[in-house]
Chains A and B, each alone.
Chain A
Amino acid sequence: MNKKNSWLNILSLSFILLWVILASVPFLWTLWGSFKVESDFFSKQDWRNAIFGVRTIIETGGMFTTNGYEGAWIKEEFWRAALNTGIVTLSVVTISLTLGTLGGYALARSGFRYAFWILIAALIFRAMPHITLVSGYLLPFFELGLWGHLSTTIIVLVAINQPFTLWMLHSFFSTIPKDLDESAMVDGCTRFEAFRHVIIPVMWPGVITTGLFSFLLAYNDFAITALLLTEANQTMVPKIASFLGSAQEQGNVMFAVAAVVSATVPLFMLVMFFQRQIVSGLTAGAVKG
């Protein structure tokens, strides 16, 4: 290793270190702060209070307090929003993957020109800002009495998710050799049986990656859930936004902080467990597509 190379190493290491700090500190700080009282989290007198929690000790007597979590989960019934998020996310992931695998498989195997045009249309649909679609939904949904229900939101999120799902799965299925389903068809399967017996058992890596991205879309959405759901049916993200309006008045931002930390935990778990699938899935899918 010559001198120039070791300089390069130091440079690249410090660059990474900087990014790791930028990427992690906001979360660590919010997690830490969520167990403090508001006057520590927002510490006007001395920024060091946020770290040492001086006010927390004075106000509650302990280093940490769970007041924020109790307020959010029990007083403000955040569990309801969490439950709704759970229902919406699970349904969206399941339905999008079901539709997406069928469609993506057909697109990968069609060989006709129109399959290509469907993909281009999907690409254009993918570009539409979600909120512009919402302005198309609201009036008809009001008129038809569909507005406000979880099921409507689920279907809308599935549809909005389809273009991306189709692209991902299309490129994934294109990497599965055609020989596989074709030999199944010669062996005596219909196209659908070939899909069921031969393709489904080998498609899980691609489906898991696509499912992760569907999950993120449904879980993280704000524009659609905020505008399409009644207050009672709200999911976590719009609920947090509405905390800000009401909580700030009551001087209880800490509810929102606690809710934010609670909503982030599942995302952390997800990346921890599926990190490998995200990286390898992108290699197989998006990178080639």
Chain B
Amino acid sequence: MPHYTFLKFIWPSALAMLVFIALPIMSTSVQSLFIEHEKILETVENCTPFGCKEITKVDLEATEAQKAENPLGKFNGFGTYTNRNHLAFSELKQAWRESNGLNEFLAEVFNLPFYKALSFTLSYTFIVTPFVIIIGFFIALAVNRLPSFLKGPTIFVCLLPMIITPLIGSLVLFWMIDAEGIIGSFLQSIFNDPNLSLKASPTLTWIMLFVYGIWHHTPFAFIVFYAGLQTVPRDTLESAMIDGANRWGQTRHVIIPHLMPLAVFISLIQIMDNFRVFEPIIGFNAQASATSLSWLIYNDFRSGDGDMLFGSAAATSMLTIIGVSILMTPVIVRTWRANRPSQGVS
């Protein structure tokens, strides 16, 4: 297709991505170098019948004017990146100096908001993803063995956790495991401990979020694997049977190699999606014990007496983008190799 025709077809899509994905990334990186203006204070005499007193208050007009003049805030360089809420270099140094032994140091580090969020985000990504792939694979194998009249309804039910809105899905589970919810109170009555609460313990909260993540994402792996199972080459499978492979041997030597590219595809998508984990933390109301990078950004917009902390959010965003890029590099390089345009022949 000539370049000009190509351009005519692609421009709306390319423009949308450029303006609303590439440009915002740049805007974020610029914003991350700035910090909100300090509030302009003014001293006024406040006179009452009992005499005059000087008080300090925020000069709203001047503050607004300053904000209007320079909405980005003032230039801060990499200051936001290194402050306590982000990479926290000085806090790290201090912790390193003052702590006895690695454990204490790590405990200090994971109390810092950024590292706390990072540790949860990474754990979530790398625990949920393999479980999703493995469980999804076995569900696909099992569904494929079902008699055909059962397949349709089973697939329908199996897909439900995937299509559900993440916030809604986590709310539904949250209500069930709530101390007063059906599972929560059931557990209490089993263990005969009226104070048992999954929400109270950070470890249990983490596990709960992992379980939710696996529950929510497994159907995706299942359906991709199931679709892949429909394309397993019959010839190879049959020759494996004739060569004497039992059911496990067929799975091991024919089905798994055939589904391998799909597993790569699933892990690619899963790493992307799990790294942005956010809604479950809101749904489970879990921010006390578990925060994620996305949640930190959200929190910057939601807290701070009505003022949005653009600089702080932007710095976390940039760090998140860097994190995603590091995680994605091997997979993207792989995709690049696999999809490199083959040379046209004849």
A binding-site residues for B, Cβ under 8 Å:
5, 8-9, 12-13, 15-16, 19-20, 22-24, 26-27, 29-30, 33, 41-44, 46-47, 50-51, 98-100, 102-103, 105-107, 109-113, 115-116, 118-140, 142-143, 155-156, 158-160, 162-163, 166, 191-192, 195, 216, 219-220, 222-223, 226-227, 237, 240-241, 244, 253, 256-257, 260, 263-264, 267-268, 270-272, 275, 278-280, 282-283, 286-287, 289
Contact = CB atoms under 8 A, between A and B. Distances in A.
Nearest to A216: B163
Interface residues of B, number: 106
B182 A47 contact: yes
A29 B157 contact: no
Contacts of A143: 71
Contact of B31 (A13, A118, A135): A135
Nearest to A100: B13
A138 B157 contact: no
Tell me what chain B mostly uses at the interface: helix, strand, loop, or mixed: helix
Contacts of A156: 20
Contact of A286 (B142, B146, B224, B230): B224
A278 B159 contact: yes
B324 A279 contact: no
Best-buried of B142, B226, B230 by chain A (most CB within 10 Å): B142
Interface of B: 1, 3, 5-6, 8-10, 12-14, 16-17, 19-28, 31, 71-72, 135, 138-139, 141-143, 145-146, 152, 154-161, 163-169, 171-173, 175-176, 178, 180-182, 185-186, 189, 215, 218-219, 223-224, 226-228, 230-231, 247, 262, 265, 272, 275-276, 278-279, 282, 285, 293-294, 297-298, 300-301, 308, 310, 313-314, 316-318, 320-321, 324-325, 328, 332, 335-336, 339-341, 344
18 contacts: A8-B247, A15-B138, A19-B139, A50-B182, A51-B182, A116-B340, A116-B341, A124-B325, A125-B22, A129-B294, A135-B310, A156-B20, A191-B5, A237-B168, A240-B171, A241-B282, A283-B230, A286-B227
What 5 pairs between A and B have smallest CB-CB spacing?
A: A136-B24, A159-B20, A103-B13, A129-B276, A106-B9
A85 B235 CA distance: 48
Contacts of B135: 19
Given A19-B139, A24-B157, A127 B341 contact: no
B136 to A, nearest CB: 10
Contact of B25 (A20, A133, A138, A216): A133
Contacts of A115: 6, 341
Best-buried of A8, A102, A106, A264 by chain B (most CB within 10 Å): A106
Contacts of B10: 102-103, 106-107, 118
A47 B336 CA distance: 54
Given A99-B13, A116-B341, A282-B224, A129 B320 contact: yes
Contact of A241 (B13, B167, B314): B167
B72 A12 contact: no
Nearest to A106: B9
Contacts of A191: 1, 5, 9
